[in-house]
Every structure is written in structure tokens, then in C-alpha cells.
A and B are shown apart, each in its own frame.
Chain A
Amino acid sequence: MRSAISSPKDLWAGLLYIAFGAAALLIGADYKVGTAGRMGPGYFPKALAWLLIGIGVVALARAFLVKGGPVTGIAWKQMSLVLASTALFGWLLTRAGLIVALLALVLVSAAASREFRFDWRATGGLVLLIAFCALVFVKGLGVPMPILGTWLEPWLGAVLPWLR
């Protein structure tokens, strides 16, 4: 079975197309198709979904016919850390504020690197980066990001009013 697949990349890509196409058909099952002269909201998406499934089938066929390289070296650790740190930033930003969110983003994502060492240089850079973001984006450009957030505001807001 395994040996019959000569191009695993095509196999996975084909499955991906079919999955997206099928999901579109499933989610959009009750979108009205209408007629060519009066297209409903479902006309174009459904046509595209079937087309995508068709392409997926072609890619699957290719997986058995063409010679291609295997899918190698997926960086699971790096991938999960980078993605998790990004999501964490979004989640923490309004709750714990910019400072904590940035700390989390930088420290968690940096763990994805084999080279990263948490030394004085990195610490200094991190402090500078946070100060830069707070000054330029929040104070300068006026992006409405809370510096302290709803969690810390009641505790630190009174002590450090300039961080509000």
C-alpha cells in the first residue's frame, strides 16, 4: 500500500483540497443556488467547491503516478510554539495588558529556537522592545491596546498611573 504512493506531497495536498471542498459544501449546504440569471449566494461557492474537489482528485491520482519527494522534517515543536505564542498574545492582550502579552509572546516563541539564550543581551532587548511598543504604538500611534489590562489595572493602575 505504502509503496504504491510515489508522491506523498501530492497525496496530502489532494486530501487538503478535498477536505476544504467538502467542508464548503457541508457548511454551505443550505445556501440557495438560484439560476444562472439570478445567482443565489450558493451558486458560485458550490461551483468552486466541486472544482476544488475535482482538483483534489487529480492531485490524488498524481500521488500514484508521479515521482515526488516525501514530506520531511515538519518542525512540530517550532510550529506549535510559534502559533501558540501568537494566540496567547491575542488572548492576554486585553486581559493582562500589553506588557504581559508581549512577554508571553517573546518568551514562548523564543523557546522555539535552538539558538536562543536568555542572557543579558536578550533581556535588555526585550525591555527595549516592550518600551518601544508601548511608546510608539500605544502613546504615539494611538492603537487602543491596554498597557495593564483588566487584570492588572485595579492593582497597578493607582501605583503607576502613567501606565494606564
Chain B
Amino acid sequence: MELLGNLLMGLGVAVSPINLAWCLIGVFLGTAIGVLPGLGPAATIAMLLPATFGLPPVSALIMLAGIFYGAQYGGSTTAILVNLPGETSSVVTAIDGYQMARQGKAGRALATAAISSFFAGTVCTLFIAMFAPPLAEIALKFGPAEYFSLMVLGLVASIVLASGSLVHAVGMIVLGLLLGLVGTDVNSGAMRFTLGLPQLADGIGFVIVAMGMFGVGEIVANLEDESNRDLMVKKVTGLMPTREDWRRMVAPMLRGTLLGSALGILPGGGAALASFSSYALEKKTSKNAHELGKGAIEGVAGPEAANNAGAQMSFIPMLTLGIPSNPVMALMIGAMIIQGIQPGPAVITEQPQLFWGLIASMWVGNAMLLILNLPLIGLWVRMIMVPYHLLFPMILVFCAIGVFSLSNTAFDVYLMAIFGLLGYVLKKLDCEPAPMLLGFILGPMMEEYLRRALLIAKGDATVLVTRPISAVLLLLAALLLALVLLPTFKKTREEAFKEG
């Protein structure tokens, strides 16, 4: 019953008119930017982040959560209507969603995506409310050794979940860790890798890296090939799924939600793998498996539910441990720190209003998506129809101004251009940026925890395996790594990502 009371308190915070308004604005802006082809949730949030700086903490986080859901759903809309997935996790939605759109069932595909996302979001909100507080209790017992081992586990998990080659996933993580160390060393005050530039003394801002790699780099990649995008539908009609649709939607939705929740809680960010695995699962279990790939509603409902569940469950490691499991969560942590909140297990007890308000607003945000986005679909279609050659200079303008406004210096704009270059080069070499960003954000934290752990243990590295929780975490990491290197699993993993 405590759970219910807490949720009600959170709901009280979330549905106060002012916060409701911020949530609405967030969902609206998030969808508006998120539907633009080539902009995934991370880029969308990075671009809109500066807009929340002026708000009080609770409102800022609620608005960000709204932006997050809006961006997620916007990506699915683009995937269905123009077959242009903004990020890996909506690649799967594009397969059957686009086929449905070609058959004139775009409205039903969009509604299915919205309903499955809402369902998964509702279930996961409850999961988070149930599991986050006990996990935070455990997390309060964590010392530096445990934190370090947990981050190792998270990084190993992100290797498993990355879709490219393993060598490059590891390479990108280490590169990210190294780049994360740029700036002043907190222990000794020594400047590291700043090349004598005072602007780098505080390190490289995460938002700059994210905007450079996901914004600028992506623009260059999109400009390579400007062949016209196929917008299947000029006007979306028939939003309501038929009775038959509902019947076929339920089972994949349930399976997708469960699969997504299980994979999403892993540090390392399971949204992409969740949607791919859900599609694979539907292929094995669905009665209509033969229709998958040709516009089957199961191929939209399952992966969309899984994708949303995975994305939402990644709030758990973020809220209870202060550890981001993907670039989006890293941005949320960045926003919290800017608001003066140190994310971690203490937030639940010290700022219950904020914690439960955020959780309730997740659900409110999901509900708003359903209410707001389906009627506004005409507007989103028009946004998608803006030709890319008119769109990309605008994206560039908002990225540049956004980055400048972080600390009002032109240096950050140059830095963004450099990371744009790096992002484009890495894309050309088939190296995925997500593990690098994860390493980037975890780099300084890992160093700090390792230092503290070893300082307490007087340099005895066995402390990492003699403390039970730490040992279990490292064992899990080793098992995962061994699993990845096993030939049979390697094949399954490759297949899971090839389903599309």
C-alpha cells in the first residue's frame, strides 16, 4: 500500500497544472523534433536540454521525461511513414510498419505503435515504482569497489548489446573512457590532455559530444545520399485499429513488454536488442509469422512494446545507482546535475517528491502521447514532408546555438564540429557511437571509484573479488564476456541483429 501512496503523491506532483503543462510542452517538442528524419532521441534531447535549464528541478525533469517519450514516439512515426528509422531500436518497427503504410494501413500502424508503447510504459512505470526503492536500499550498501564492478558489468553488457563487431565495441568503449578523462584530475588537480587549453579544464561537455556525433556527424552522413525519400502517405486516415487488429496485437504486446523489461534493466541499454529479440520471438511464436515482413501488425506491436519497455526500464539503474545505461540516460543525469541533484540511491529518500513525481510523470507522459499524438498526426506528417535540404541547415542552427548556450563560448561550437568529424569517420568505419558515449560518461566515475577502492584496500586489488557483491558483479561480467566469445552465442547474437 505504501507503493500506492507513493504513486499517488507522485501523481499529485505530476498533474499539478504547471507540471502538466511542462510535460505537455516536452511531449510536443520532443515529438516535433523526434519525427524529423535522422534525429534520434539522444540528439533530440541534447538539442532541447538547454530549454529546461531555467525551470525548477522537478519541472525540468518532468519536461525532459516528456521530451524523451515524444522523441521515442516521433522516431517510430518516421520509421513507419518513411522507412527512415532514427535509431537502431526503431529499425525493426520500420520493417512491418512501412509495409503496413504501403498497404494504406498507416493510421492503424501508428495507432498500434502508440497503444503498445502506452501499454509497455504503464507496466514499466509500475515495475520501476516497485523495484527502484528496494534496489536503492541495496545500492546504499555499495562501496567504491561495488560501483566499479557494476560499471565493468555495464560496459561488458553494452558490448554484448552493441550491434557491430565486438572488437570495435570494446575499442569504442576504451576510446570513450579515455576521452572522458580530459580535464582536471579531481584527486591531484593535475590537468590532463587539455593541450594547454583552459576551456578544457572542466573536461569535454557530454552534450557537445552527443550533439557532434549524433547531430552534425549524422547530417554529413545523410547528405551523402540525397535520393528522395518515399513518403507513402500524404494523409493518414483510419486511425482506429479493427477488432481483428486488437485481437492480434495483445499477445505480441505482452511478450514484447516482458522481454523489453528484462533486457532493459541491464546496464548497457537494452532497447535496441529488445526490439530485435522481440521481432525474433514473434517469428518463432506468432500464428501469423508467415506475414511478418509483409506488413503484419505483430511486427509493430511486439517490437514497439519491447523498445519502449527497454527504454523505460533503463531509468532504474539511472535512478537507483546514478549510472547511465545509454546516452539518453547520460543526458538525463547531466540535466539532474545541472539542477543540483546528484543522482544515486539517496534521491529516493532525500527528495521523494522529485523521485515519485518523475515516475508518475513517466506514466502521464505516455498517456499524453496517446492523447496528443494521434490527433496531431497530420502535423507530424507535414513535418516529415519538409525536404531534408531545407531541414538540415535548421538542425545545424539549433545544434550550434544550443551548444553555445551551454557555457556561452564559441570554443564549444568548434568542439562540436570536431566531434561531428569523429562521428562521421567512425560511422564510415562501422564503429557504433553509443558504446563510446557510455564509456565517455563512465570514464571519470570508474577511475574515481577504482582509486577509492584501492586506496581503502591499500593497493590490494583483490578487494574487488573478496567483497561479495563486487565479486558477483564481476563474475556476471566475466560470464557475459565468455558467452559473447562462445561461437554458438556469437552466431545467435548476429542473427538477432540480422532479423531485419
Q: Is the CB of B389 within 8 A of A115?
A: yes
Bound Cα distance from A48 to B447, whole angstroms: 11
CB of B178 within 8 Å of the partner chain: yes
Q: For A59, what are the chain B residues with a Cβ–Cβ distance below 8 Å?
A: 167-168, 171
Sample (18) of A-B pairs whose CB atoms are under 8 Å apart: A32-B190, A35-B459, A36-B460, A37-B458, A38-B455, A39-B451, A51-B174, A52-B175, A55-B170, A73-B224, A83-B216, A86-B216, A86-B413, A89-B413, A110-B393, A113-B392, A115-B226, A141-B50
CB of B387 within 8 Å of the partner chain: yes
**Residue in A9, A16, A85 whose CB lies within 8 Å of B430:** A9
**Residue in A41, A44, A48, A121 whose CB lies within 8 Å of B190:** A41
Q: For B174, what are the chain A residues with a Cβ–Cβ distance below 8 Å?
A: 17, 48, 51-52, 55
Q: Is the CB of A13 within 8 A of B190?
A: no
Q: For A150, what are the chain B residues with a Cβ–Cβ distance below 8 Å?
A: none
**Residue in B387, B392, B413, B428 whose CB lies within 8 Å of A109:** B392
Nearest-neighbour CB distance to chain A for B327, whole angstroms, equals: 20
A83 and B450 in contact (CB under 8 A), knowing A59-B168, A133-B401? no
Bound Cα distance from A112 to B221, whole angstroms: 12
Q: Is the CB of A93 within 8 A of B417?
A: no
Q: Is the CB of A13 within 8 A of B171?
A: yes
Q: Which residue of B lies closest to A23 (CB)?
A: B193
A75 and B410 in contact (CB under 8 A), knowing A27-B193, A115-B387? no
Stretch with Cβ within 8 A of A (4 or more), from B290-298, B364-372, B418-426? B418-426
Binary A-proximity of B379-405 (CB < 8 A = 1, otherwise 0):
000000001111011101101110011
CB of A6 within 8 Å of the partner chain: no
Q: Is the CB of A145 within 8 A of B401?
A: yes
Q: Is the CB of A82 within 8 A of B450?
A: no
Nearest-neighbour CB distance to chain B for A139, whole angstroms, equals: 13
Binary A-proximity of B59-82 (CB < 8 A = 1, otherwise 0):
000000000000000000000000
Q: For B416, what are the chain A residues with a Cβ–Cβ distance below 8 Å?
A: 86
Q: For B170, what are the chain A residues with a Cβ–Cβ distance below 8 Å?
A: 55
Interface residues on chain B, size class: 35 or more
CB of A151 within 8 Å of the partner chain: no
Q: Which residue of A lies closest to B457 (CB)?
A: A37
Bound Cα distance from A74 to B400, whole angstroms: 24
CB of B16 within 8 Å of the partner chain: no
Further pairs besides A105-B397, A113-B388: 10, Cβ < 8 Å: A12-B429, A13-B429, A17-B171, A52-B175, A58-B167, A82-B219, A106-B393, A109-B392, A122-B390, A141-B50
Bound Cα distance from A145 to B424, whole angstroms: 29
For A, the interface residue count at a CB cutoff of 8 angstroms equals 68
Binary B-proximity of A25-37 (CB < 8 A = 1, otherwise 0):
0011001100111
Nearest-neighbour CB distance to chain B for A11, whole angstroms, equals: 9
CB of A100 within 8 Å of the partner chain: no
Most buried by B among A45, A74, A85, A121: A45
CB of B240 within 8 Å of the partner chain: no
**Residue in A20, A91, A137 whose CB lies within 8 Å of B178:** A20
Bound Cα distance from A45 to B450, whole angstroms: 13
Q: Is the CB of B393 within 8 A of A105?
A: yes
Binary B-proximity of A83-126 (CB < 8 A = 1, otherwise 0):
10111011101100000001001100110111110000110010
Q: For A143, what are the chain B residues with a Cβ–Cβ distance below 8 Å?
A: 401, 404-405, 408
Q: For B458, what are the chain A residues with a Cβ–Cβ distance below 8 Å?
A: 37
Q: Is the CB of A90 within 8 A of B220?
A: no
Q: Which residue of B lies closest to A9 (CB)?
A: B429
Nearest-neighbour CB distance to chain B for A145, whole angstroms, equals: 7
Q: Is the CB of A110 within 8 A of B400?
A: no
Q: For B390, what are the chain A residues with a Cβ–Cβ distance below 8 Å?
A: 116, 121-122, 125
A-B interface, 10 closest residue pairs, ranked by CB to CB distance from nearest: A37-B459, A90-B413, A90-B410, A115-B389, A113-B389, A41-B185, A78-B223, A36-B459, A41-B190, A86-B417
Bound Cα distance from A113 to B355, whole angstroms: 46
**Residue in B388, B393, B420 whose CB lies within 8 Å of A83:** B420
Q: For A35, what are the chain B residues with a Cβ–Cβ distance below 8 Å?
A: 459
Bound Cα distance from A52 to B443, whole angstroms: 14
CB of A135 within 8 Å of the partner chain: no
CB of B434 within 8 Å of the partner chain: no
Q: Is the CB of A49 within 8 A of B459?
A: no
CB of B479 within 8 Å of the partner chain: no
CB of B242 within 8 Å of the partner chain: no
Binary B-proximity of A49-74 (CB < 8 A = 1, otherwise 0):
10110011011001000000001011
CB of B195 within 8 Å of the partner chain: yes
Bound Cα distance from A75 to B455, whole angstroms: 50
Q: For A83, what are the chain B residues with a Cβ–Cβ distance below 8 Å?
A: 216, 220, 417, 420-421
Q: Which residue of B lies closest to A54 (CB)?
A: B174
Q: Which residue of B lies closest to A38 (CB)?
A: B455
Q: Is the CB of B387 within 8 A of A45?
A: no
Nearest-neighbour CB distance to chain A for B295, whole angstroms, equals: 30
**Residue in B50, B178, B393 whose CB lies within 8 Å of A52:** B178
Q: For B392, what are the chain A residues with a Cβ–Cβ distance below 8 Å?
A: 109, 113
Q: Is the CB of B396 within 8 A of A93?
A: no
Q: Is the CB of A82 within 8 A of B414?
A: no
Q: For B455, what are the chain A residues with a Cβ–Cβ distance below 8 Å?
A: 37-39
Q: Is the CB of A129 within 8 A of B224?
A: no
Q: Which residue of B lies closest to A98 (CB)?
A: B401
A91 and B223 in contact (CB under 8 A), knowing A36-B459, A115-B387? no
**Residue in B171, B216, B389, B454 whose CB lies within 8 Å of A110:** B389
Q: Is the CB of A141 within 8 A of B405?
A: yes
CB of B161 within 8 Å of the partner chain: no
